[in-house]
Structure 1
């Protein structure tokens, strides 16, 4: 039996080393699969697409080079607009351009300008342009591919048949925008159904008779379906340089013949808009958002790429996936054979090598490989592998306790005081003239200020040496000592000694929290007790810090129980700063704080608890002071809201200042109106005396300017009243009556502009708590704007409906619309939508600011939906009130 037991023990000892090796290979394979799967997932979902594009944009700078001398751009620039007037121009001007170019005999002339419709006011100009196109014989016209509504049917805009019949060829000019709004790629073939158009630059080369490799169409004729937008042969645009890189000549120079003869001979000529104000420009990798590149220059870059064979293609997803997964998994099979330093070196080498691989493929093979997914996997691989090696050496309990001590050390209240900071601070509050840090042998390691000889060193806290007027304390475990030298004749009192003894404890790192028991379990228990004691100290520290804040602060759990309250919060809620309101119900103390703007405590608490949002609201205390209430969620475990932090700030002085400012603004506005009204009367009197024609025009201009100034003063008054909450007299108001009153006010204006007014009221009455006059004025402003910015023959509709506990009022027009970039600042003061096509429409830019102020003061919300050419929808919502049943 003894021999059998010995053999069994020996066999177990021989098998034991194989078990960890088997586990290590399994972990290695598992980590490799996880990293490979992560890289493939990141690649498939395109979560890191933006980072890949940043690298692509940076690497694309390496491909820039000189512009081809065979390509010339004729630009519709600011100089040309100044010469020929506002855009679009008469067609005779374009015909003159083609006649000038015909003398130069260029290989091909391509317009990046859409001639989709005839000019009904100038048919002669259309005829001249068509004849010029026909005479040239080498003119290429563009086809515009667009999707006017998000998710809507695609459309293609062709040149008018009068021009298309004379053109040598046609090609599409659509450039694909990436999700970040940058123009990096295009499709060589696009079209709806059977009309499958090649790109404009390909058509140019064909018309010019230049033999270059051209991609064949991928969609076979006869397989297309009407209404389907086909696109194929996507290429990345290899930009040769930033905007202005290609040779450009002003349009008006060419028309005037102000160029060197032979400039366009045998050249590839592109004609397009380069003026910034006309909007035909896109952000590119070589220009960024601040300086967009005109569309005609983007086409010039693509033309050069096709001409020189320098086009860039994105690698197919199969080789990209294979390379990414291999780069992600490779380190996991190499790290076990390397030490920590060499493993880190390998990770860094692979990281840099992946970047170099991507750059080399782009520069040498003109192929784009997105490397960020592989880089993320490589970056994660080394710490993951290191973690697994450490995890196998440390037990779970030890790891948790070490992590607890690490987090404790990171807390500012548990960190030891910095010696030099403390020594520099103490002379400001104590008569300290200098300090020195002495080693165990009495030699000075560091010193500052006046230093004297110390008779003997201290071995305990706070020893005072009268002979040298110094205070000494040990501050390090290596036996070093801090000595503070006081001014002669001074000796620290009890309070000063207490402060200095606290410094001594801080310099020694505070009290030890580690257990001293030789029993491992008992040592861990002592460490847990120490950690619990530290949490109690941290709570007391937070409570003490909150008690001295000038704002009232509450910490409330998710079920309405007050956990922490400082003295200021107790004063606001209980009327006594010494009141103990902790562990009480929050709603028992909210009656003394009344929320303004129609808000309620239940609504605010519901939004913070259920939606995890931050809210703030104006309030008034029972004693008359103005408060700003801010509520924020507090998350302790996971993503759920565990508690609330409520802050009460006294803003009484601020409110008083705002009221004084409003009074001053009202005074100035009223004071400004009186002389203006008088001036209008004088102008009317002067006009009644039948002045001559010149004087009459002058008086009319003065009258117009005075009326505009008076209108501006009136709008200032309205805005000042809307922004001054003290001027509101809230009562029950029927929005139906408000809508009809506003309708009557603007009816004459709408009639004069040939615009129909229509009300769609889904409720018979709509009662809200508000100021009827201001609400009516706000609705009039919205209707006036809708009429002002709508063409004749359209309709303006007011829609009223109820959604939950709110009434929703919307003003819809069929007007010119607003660009998306103008929407965020639409409700700012003096903000007007810039639209060169409708410059005759005037205004001060205060109407919508007034609407926003009124809706905000009523506790409502306002929104706008608009797009150029699609009209606008302005909506505001107000909380409904329930009238008592009589």
Structure 2
């Protein structure tokens, strides 16, 4: 069969699937977030936001700490600051200082706060100690009631440890607090909101990124002590929102930001001031959800997968670079213009990867056809055997043990003995020539060189007639390689011509291999091919099926071990049969039994043409059916020679007796002669009926009514039942149509009824029930006889099987009646079951498929 060659093309699938796989793997790492952070930080720091005109910071700096002493300061000091700012015209005062514990000076500070009227205090969410749940750390009650509103002071740190934004609302489940910046903005949404979450749950909503005005110190700031002393310009705080917090090193919270990282962290109060500045200028940045970012990446994959395969390499580079630039431009426009932070790391990674993947696919196309052809040859079964000279010494010793079963062995690496049994290091003779066997008495020794290391293998062979043959075999075994390595030269021809030449050659070889493979697979026998050490190198599908061994485990397994594991035997052992086939080069034929099936295995030695390699071809034939036929044939001969011959001999003897005394023929003698003739006829009839049943096929099926068949069978047995006073009670009125052979079915029912009558006591009842169960027509015949012993039930339907109890009681049968019933039921694709207990009778149930189950 010729195969049309066609070029392999880069399709949207071949390009899109690797890109999609990369996207999924990329998503599982932290690289996307870090790349998005880097892009965001680059743009934000390149174009810093202008600060709002009405924001100013009062800093608790080092000078203030030196002048006012150690922290905490008296709250009267903070009250004085509020009064100073109130006098200076500050519109809003925001403290980024926690006041959770009550103090004696709280009322003074509360009075100052109420006098100003717009002082905002922070709250904090944290557990009061290590073993407590998170809770709200509010200002002291006196201060909280005097504050205009409260705001949370939490700032979010991203995965890389930098602060880029915060949640506008944060709190426990029943109440969410606005951030300090939102509370100071006097926006309608700045009031606390109520959530439906459980009260112990930390709830955060509305994350916003903060475009900073610059690094630490960018916003206008005044020292706390100087403000307290009145050292500031007249209108510096008028109409301003003043943030009060710590900036001194080692005091207060410090936050790394995109502008400074960990080198110059920003104080928490300055971060909140930047948040307020961005909020009042409507510059807070909303983050686009991750599914949209993933969707953008998928869209890029789809566009590039459909576009790149149609482009030349130069244009592919331009397309990928253009896609990368457009994505970065889109990111910048959304961030700066629309205040939307779109994570585009997934999307921009796709063009960067699509270019090398597309190039690799194009490069692979030039050799894909050649590789496919070579792969096809490699996948097919090969008759080239692995040379023993290429195997490692421990592997060689293992194969020798499986093949030859030596009485002792030794393997030494250099001067060190690796494994031994029955031989010692002192037994090693001088071995000058590697790969050449030395036979000393019953010992055989060889030295091997592998990768510059010298190994020595010794075998102690049995002292019998096989020793000489084994030693001759070992002498012929090539264990050292003398071939020079083949130097491979690169191709000197045009690639197209080379592909064409290889295509022709591989096509010719493929045809040869397909022929060999199909020949082996379609053979009715199992085939095993071994090398010169009896190791399996090829097996067809029958071997895998019969031995139930997967094909990968068969390859490389010694044949002797395979056979020993499935049919162990001692006379002769399998290793002896395999080794004699190789050493004596003689065929062997042996019986084999695997899982109750009979096989015949034929061992034939072979040698490859133009090569020193040899091995075994083992042909395994399934003879289970033949053995079964032989068994049935023997049983039939026994049946005819005993059961049929016995009444005939009795008849002949009685006839000779009547001939000698013709004048005095008694009626009893004629009755006996009639019974014997009837028995002979009955035996022959059952034998013929069983043969007819075994030859029944569905071509002799037709539609028939089951209840009518049972009624006819009952009528045929009614006379026999009446003689014993047995009632035959038939229950069933429904017509059940079957597709089968009514004659044989009726005969099968007659056999069941005859058995029931025969083994029932006089005056008893035989119940016959005909009914439908699902899609099956069912018949149950139950009697009140002695029942059947449990140990006899498994063999009841075998040929010529008779019940011991029946034979002892005088009910002689042929052993074919129930076997006939079983064959008829199987031919009609039905089933027969038996329920019986000794002393309680028996019940046989037939189940046959009805003709039209849906009718």
How would you bin the TM-score normalised by the shorter chain?
0.3 to 0.5
Give the TM-score normalised by structure 2. Answer: 0.42
Structure ID, larger Rg: 2
Q: Output the TM-score relative to the length of structure 1.
A: 0.41
